[in-house]
Amino acid sequence: MDTLRYKIQNTKELLLSRLSFSNAENDIFQRFVYLRVPLEVMKGKASKNQTRNYFFFVLAIFFVISVYAQIVFPEPYSIFRNTISDQGGIMLNPIGHKLWNFGIVLLGILSIPHFLYLYHILKSLSIIYSTLSTALGILCSLSMSFVGIFPQDFEVPHGIFASICFLGSFIKANSDLILYIIEKRKQKGEEYTLKVPKYILIGAFYVLFNVSFLMMMGTYFIDMKLVPFWEWAYFLSILVWILGTYIIK
């Protein structure tokens, strides 16, 4: 009888241990489920809404960092007087430069999933173009990060990476627009007509986008005092261009 009880007790303990192990496995599985969406976003394979929410979150973090950098700026910060990079200047912003430079590095790296997301959309139209376009987008993102690694105090590398980021974004945005127009023109006339207001909005944005870029470049040769405003205008246009991806279908 004692032997039987001993066997029953052992069997019960074994079953309980198996059950607890299964629960542990289930907990691990659940944790991986929670990680599934972030991993899909990082690979550019998440849904449009998930990627949009991710990028809004990234921009919100960078916005807070920029506000802080401007608040602790030694003199009143103004987009009409101070360039974007002034926020990360070691000499110009001794208190806030570290956090802002970290923020711009982070923004550049965390922008890469956006271009991977575009790759999965554009590859159905042209695999060659989507590959080259994605490579250019990632180059722009990495250049943005290097702007923070080499603040404006390091004039040459800072200027090179900032130029790559700005010029690369200009080329990619306009080439994407051309491909978008070509694709939409293949649609039936009725469907095209129904969406005319949307196309007008897109056209208006791209006019402002290109004007801000050209004005920014022109002011470098005309009047350096005008550079900060147009630099800010173009930088904000880049962010609107990225966010517009998740609004325009």
Q: Which two tokens stand for residue 203?
A: 């056209």
| Average of per-residue pLDDT across 154-171 | 93
| Per-residue pLDDT at 164 exceeds 60 | yes
Q: What is the pTM of this model?
A: 0.77
Contact 105, 148 (CB under 8 A): yes
CA distances from 73 to 67, 69, 70, 93, 189 (A): 10, 6, 5, 5, 54
pLDDT at site 18: 47
| Average of per-residue pLDDT across 37-47 | 75
Q: How many Cβ atoms from other residues are within 10 Å of residue 39's Cβ? A: 11
pLDDT at site 49: 83
pLDDT at site 200: 72
Contact 54, 113 (CB under 8 A): yes
DSSP string, 146-189: HHHHS-TTSHHHHHHHHHHHHHHHHHHHHHHHHHHHHHHTTS-H
Q: Which two tokens stand for residue 182?
A: 């070509």
111 in helix, strand or coil? Answer: coil
Please tell me which residue, 169 or 39, carries the higher pLDDT value: 169
What are the boundaries of each domain within the chain? 46-244
pLDDT at site 223: 82
| Average of per-residue pLDDT across 130-134 | 88
